[in-house]
Amino acid sequence: MAPTEDRTSVDAQSRGRADNVDPADQWVLNPATGEYELRLGPSAPQSPVPGPRRSSPHTAHHPVGPGGMGHPYGAAPGGPPRAPGREVPAPRRGTPEPPPGRRSGRSGQRKPKARKALLWAGGTMAFVVLATGTAGYVYLKHLEGNVDTTDVGDAGSGDFSKDEAFNILVLGTDKRTGSGNDGYGDAGSVGHADTTILLHVAKDRTNATALSIPRDLIVDIPDCPTKLEDGTEKVIPGLQGARFNRSLGEGGRDPGCTMRTVEKVTGIKPDHFMMADFNAVKTLTSAVDGVDVCVEHAVNDKQSKLALPAGKSKVEGEQALAFVRTRHSFGNEGDLDRIKVQQHFLASLMRKMSSGDTLTSPTKLVKLAEAATDALTVDTGIGSVSTLKDVALELKKVPPKNISFTTVPVKDNPAETVKATVVVDESKAPRLFAAIAGDVSLTEVEKKRERKEKAAVAARLQGAKAPASEVRVQVLNGGAPAGSAQETLRWLQVDEGVSKSENAGNAPETLKKTTLEYAPDQADQARRLATILGMSGSALKPGESVTNSQGLPAMTLTLGKDFTGVGSQLGDSAAGPLDVEKSTADKVECAS
């Protein structure tokens, strides 16, 4: 174990009382690994009385890297520039003081809850690279002081799992927060859910879906148990037939209320949430030297003050915020068209953050990490920067071409004469919700999987077929109309010559689809019966045989709810593609 003095230095640095140095000037190339690492100078003199610090599961000493915090080597040619006149400091543990004006650790006051979340992946690459350097631990501790948390109780799922699919609700409000944001949002707003994206990341990390939820969607907001500042709990009454954006802010509703509302509307439970303020758009776009956007027609929006020529442009800072906030220059000047513009912007930002120019620049990475954590408010389940780093690592596994952006299918509210709000389109939305809940990709990943599965299913019908007289099968009613099993049995025996069939009564459970289960050595019998019944390959389920009344092995035919009578097509799996608009993060699209 390292000496106590060394451990004290780590603690002092994590409270933000180290020398005031620019972390971007402290990155040097490790020739042994080929990676840049953060090396910091000695800490400033410490007060004998420790100041307040934020509790964390990582306060114990964690040695990182060989020899402590670094190695005696300087910056390689082409590496990050060293400040003029500054000598390379001796390696030791520490972390940089936050720049002037930024708080250095957790104070007794909480940051405002109102945030703007347009950048669900903001700082992801920065977390990944910073976390893998030799000084990663202490710098992550510094970043942790930037993040605020909110306890949403059982609305969240608690600990983050790296082995399961996960859903993160990204929230943005219309409350004016941050310097220079007076021109945006409703001056009297308490911070409604102005922008909401439900991000689903697949279990195998091959794909992700970002589902936008319109703020003007009419929903039922459930009762919401909410923890107050003083630690007590209050149940905020729900609302019937209200706009979705009222699920946050109004009446004291916290992000947990919005999470509960999303689950009620979609059937998908968010595991965690993230919120970020208006300034995140400004600082993150500036950290990567701007984001490329495209508009089909020149824009000169007096309300948002956005002015862009037709074609491609680069936006950052205030102009980037105006781009994602404007709606009077696109489409029908409504929220649905603004959502599409925001999705294009997010895709472009993700491409920029994963580009070589960003990943090889320590200066940009540090700026990204600082900006992202300083803007974030998250639930307690992912409140530590080490956990946020784990989330970032999982997101990094998803290829941009397999990140889909889509919006809840909606239609005009039929209760309104003047159309101002929308309702869920029940003819389209349930299938989309089911696909996301079932971990089904909207991209080529799923298309390839479906083609492979369909080929395997079709193969079940290919091959030799046993004579009808050799087919042994038990028929059960698993949700079909009463008497269906007996009717099918009589038809099989009398009309089709399947004499070795019998009625086995009701199935132990109800099935939506009719199935035929059979053992491998009964495949020829299964193919014959499937032909007789008009069953598709999807209805055939390889498994085990059962014993019939004569003690012989038999197949099991279970008539499900789809059974309407003998001779009808059974088990057809061709449901067709999802009827939703979508885009992917790898494609450049122009707002119109």
Q: Are residues 228 and 361 in the same domain?
A: yes
According to the model, what pLDDT value does residue 56 have?
40
Q: 291-295 and 239-243 as β-strands: parallel, antiparallel, unpaired?
A: unpaired
Mean pLDDT of 279-296: 86
- Choose from 176-180, 253-257, 436-440 the range with maximum mean pLDDT: 253-257
Q: What pTM, to 2 d.p., does this model score?
A: 0.61
User: Which CATH number goes with the domain that contains 279?
Assistant: 3.40.630.190
Q: Is the pLDDT of residue 490 over 90?
A: yes
Whether 251 has a pLDDT exceeding 70, the answer reads yes
Q: Give CA–CA dist 112/277, Å, rounded.
A: 9
Q: Are residues 479 and 345 in the same domain?
A: no
Q: Are strands 515-518 and 540-542 parallel, antiparallel or unpaired?
A: parallel
Same domain? For 410 and 480 the reply is no
Average pLDDT, the chain: 76
- Per-residue pLDDT band for 194 (boundaries 50, 70, 90) equals confident
Which pLDDT band holds residue 375 (cuts at 50, 70, 90)?
confident
User: Predicted confidence band at 122 (pLDDT cuts at 50, 70, 90)?
Assistant: very low
Give me the residues paired with residue 300 across strands: 307
Q: d(Cα 175, Cα 246) in Å, to the nearest integer?
A: 13
Alpha carbon distance 441, 100 (integer Å): 45
Task: Give a yes or no: residue 585 inside a domain.
Answer: no
CA-closest candidate to residue 159, choices 455, 398, 384: 384
Q: Lowest mean pLDDT of 53-67, 172-186, 287-301, 508-522, name the range.
A: 53-67
Question: Given 418, 449, 480, which residue is the final one in a domain?
Answer: 449
| 591: in domain | no
Scored b (16 or more CB within 10 A) or e, 264-300 reads: ebbebebbbbbbbbbbbbbbbbbbbebbebbbeeebe
**Within-domain flag for 590:** no
Q: Are residues 372 and 400 in the same domain?
A: yes
pLDDT band at 556 (very low <50, low <70, confident <90, very high): very high
- Domain-embedded: residue 112: no
Does residue 301 fall inside a structural domain?
A: no
Asked if residue 565 is part of any domain, the answer here is: no
My answer on whether 36 and 131 are in the same domain is no
Please, what sign has the CA dihedral across residues 74, 78, 81, 86?
A: positive
Please give the pLDDT value at position 435: 86
Q: Which of 55-64, 303-312, 498-507, 576-585 has the lowest mean pLDDT?
A: 55-64
Q: List the domain range (segments joined by +) for residue 220.
A: 124-288+317-322+330-449
- Among 400, 419, 449, residue at a domain's last position: 449
Instruction: Judge if 529 and 464 occupy the same domain.
Output: yes
Clarify whether residues 276 and 257 are in a common domain: yes
Please tell me the distance from the alpha carbon of residue 147 to that of residue 388, in angstroms, as a whole number.
Answer: 10
> Same domain, yes or no, for 381 and 513?
no
Q: Which of 396, 430, 449 is the last residue of a domain?
A: 449
The predicted structure's pLDDT at residue 4? 43
Judgement on whether residues 445 and 465 belong to the same structural domain of the protein:
no
What CATH number does residue 504 fall under?
A: 3.30.70
* 465 and 417 co-located in one domain: no
Residue 574 lies in a domain: no
Q: How many domains does the chain have?
A: 3
Indicate if 149 and 281 belong to the same structural domain: yes
Which DSSP string do the residues of 98-162 spell out, in sequence order? PPTTS--S--SSPPPS------TTTTHHHHHHHHHSTTHHHHHHHHHTT-EEE--GGGS-SS--T
pLDDT of 331 higher than 90? no
**Residue 348 domain-assigned?**
yes
Residues 269 and 364 in one domain: yes
